[in-house]
Amino acid sequence: MFNTVTTELLSGFWQNCQIFFLTLLFAIPLGLIITFGSMSKWAPFSFLRRFCIRQKGKKKIDLHTILLTIADFRPISFITRIFVWIIRGTPLLLQLLVVFYVPGLIFDYPMTNRLLAALIAFVINYAAYFSEIYRGGIESIPKGQYEAGQVLGLTKTQVFFKVVLMQVIKRIVPPMGNEIITLVKDTSLARIIAVAEILKAAERFSARGVIWPLFYTGAFFLLFCGLLTVLFGYIEKKLDYYKG
C-alpha cells in the first residue's frame, strides 16, 4: 500500500515540479520585461511642455496644469502598473480559472491542455510579483552609482551590466527566495482546473476512505522547500563577500 501511494503521489508531484520549473524558466525573464515596462520613462506628449506658458491666473486648474499632466503621462509605465496591480490584487485561484475557462467562453476556443493553462496563469502571476521585486532592487541602487559609471565613460548598457546588475541580484536574492518557496506550495492550486498534481492524487485515496496519503504529501513539499532553503542560503553566502 505504502509503495503504491508513494508512486501515485510521486507521479502527481512530477506535475507540481513541471509547473514549478517551467514557471521559473519563463517568469524570471518575463518579470524583467515587466519591470522595464513599469519603469519606462517614455512620455510621447512631452513636447507639450513647450506650450506651457505659465499664466499668472489664480484659477486652481488652468491650462498650464492640464498640459503638464498630459506631458508627464507615461503610457507604457501606466499600463504596465495597472496590469501588475490587477495580477497582484486578485487571487491566483481566480486567474487559473480565467485562463482555463475564458478562452472557451468568449473566443469559442476552449483550453484543452490543463497543464498549459495552469502554466500560463502561473507565469503571468509570478512574473508580476518578480517584476516588483526587481523594480525594488533596481530603485534601491543609489543614483551615485549611475553617475560614477557615467563620468567614467561607461555606456548605459555597461553601467547596467557591470555596475548595477550584481548589486541588484544581491539585494533581490532574499525576497526571490521567499517568493520561489511560495511557488512550490502554490503549484498545488492547479488542481482547481483538474491538473493531476500531488494533492489531487492524494484526494483520490481519501475519496476511498484512505486519509493518510493527504498528510503524506506534506513530506514532499517539506523536502523540496528544505532543499530550496539550503540552496538560497548557499547563494546568499556566496554573495556575502561584500556589504551593501
Partner 1 sequence: MNVLKASGIKKSYGKLEVLKGVDLVVSKGDVIAIIGPSGSGKSTFLRSLINLEKINGGEIIIDGQTVVKNGIYDKTEDSKNAYKKLGMVFQNFNLFPHKSVLENITMAPVSVKKIPHTEAEEQARMLLAQVGLTEKEKAYPCELSGGQQQRVAIARALALKPDILLFDEPTSALDPELTGEVLRVIKNLAEEGMTMIVVTHEMSFAKDVAKRIIFMDGGVIVADGTPEDIFHSDNERLATFLKNYNEY
Stretches 16-24, 34-42, 72-80, 148-156: which one binds partner 1 (CB under 8 A)?
148-156
Rule CB under 8 A: say whether 79 interacts with partner 1: no
Answer for which of 57, 89, 144, 209 binds partner 1 (CB under 8 A) is: 144
B/e letters for 21-49, b = 16+ CB within 10 Å, e = fewer, are: ebbbebbbebbbebbbbbbeeebeeeebe
**Contact yes or no for 49/72 (Cβ under 8 A):** no
Choose between 26 and 146: whose C-beta lies nearer to partner 1: 146
Rule CB under 8 A: say whether 93 interacts with partner 1: no
How far apart CA 112 and CA 105 sit, in angstroms, is 13
Stretches 24-32, 109-117, 164-172, 191-199: which one binds partner 1 (CB under 8 A)?
164-172
**Torsion sign (Cα): 196, 84, 103, 120:** negative
Stretches 58-66, 120-128, 154-162, 218-226: which one binds partner 1 (CB under 8 A)?
154-162
Interhelix angle 75-89/2-38, rounded to 10 degrees, is 150
Answer for which of 88, 156, 162, 238 binds partner 1 (CB under 8 A) is: 162
- The least distance separating partner 1 from the CB of residue 108, rounded to whole angstroms, comes to 52
Question: What angle (nearest 5°) sits at the alpha carbon of residue 134, between those of residues 133 and 139?
Answer: 100
CA R_g for the chain: 24
Answer for which of 152, 194, 219, 222 binds partner 1 (CB under 8 A) is: 152
Residues that bind partner 1 (CB under 8 A): 142, 144-145, 147-148, 150-154, 158, 162-163, 166-167, 170, 241-244
